């Protein structure tokens, strides 16, 4: 089966550059499945996991938004942050989730609810990628 080169890059540098047979991700417009030969496109990503399949293995990467650029032979993901399951600090992710949940329950006027909701989504996504990889 033919493959796509998948490159995941953050402001801190490259996270991944490997060949895979399929990429699945969540764009703001919905779920995308990308195979070699896909039409070129650019799409904004949501806080979600990127699922990568190839050579009998399956990998996941947690991303907190960004953009996906698809070319027939290459997928480039420009993410604000991206973490492989092995790079996720699970204790830190759990604490971030608890902190965000407390902020959302607090009902104080000075709490930025949108920011707390995004923090909660990022923490849940990181926990999901970590727990579903091991």
pLDDT tens-digit profile, the chain (134 residues): 699 999 999 999 999 999 999 999 999 999 999 999 999 999 999 999 999 998 888 899 999 989 999 999 999 999 999 999 999 898 999 999 998 888 888 766 566 778 888 888 888 888 888 888 75
Judged by DSSP in three states, 39 sits in coil
The answer as to CATH 2.40.30.10 being correct for domain 88-131 is no
Cα–Cα distance measured from residue 62 to residue 105, given in angstroms and rounded to the nearest whole number: 26
* Residue tagged 């609810």 (tokens): 113
For residue 100, the model assigns a pLDDT of 86
The residues, ordered by sequence, that sit 6+ positions from 35 with a Cβ below 8 Å of its Cβ are 4, 21, 22
Judged by DSSP in three states, 55 sits in coil
Cα–Cα distance measured from residue 74 to residue 119, given in angstroms and rounded to the nearest whole number: 30
For residue 46, the model assigns a pLDDT of 94
At the fourth CATH level, the homologous superfamily of domain 4-83 is F0F1 ATP synthase delta/epsilon subunit, N-terminal (2.60.15.10)
Task: Tell me the domain boundaries of the chain.
Answer: 4-83, 88-131
């Amino acid at each position: 089966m033919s493959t796509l080169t998948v490159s995941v890059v953050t402001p801190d540098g490259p996270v991944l550059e490997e060949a895979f047979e399929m990429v699945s991700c969540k764009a703001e417009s919905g779920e995308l499945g990308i195979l070699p030969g896909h039409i070129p496109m650019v799409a904004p990503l949501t806080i979600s996991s990127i699922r990568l399949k190839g050579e009998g293995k399956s990998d996941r990467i947690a991303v907190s938004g960004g953009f996906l650029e698809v070319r027939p032979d290459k997928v480039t993901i420009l993410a604000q942050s991206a973490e492989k399951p092995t790079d996720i600090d699970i204790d830190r992710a759990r604490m971030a989730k608890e902190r965000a949940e407390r902020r959302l329950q607090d009902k104080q006027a000075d709490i930025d609810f949108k920011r707390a909701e995004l923090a909660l989504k990022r923490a849940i996504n990181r926990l999901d990628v970590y727990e579903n990889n091991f």
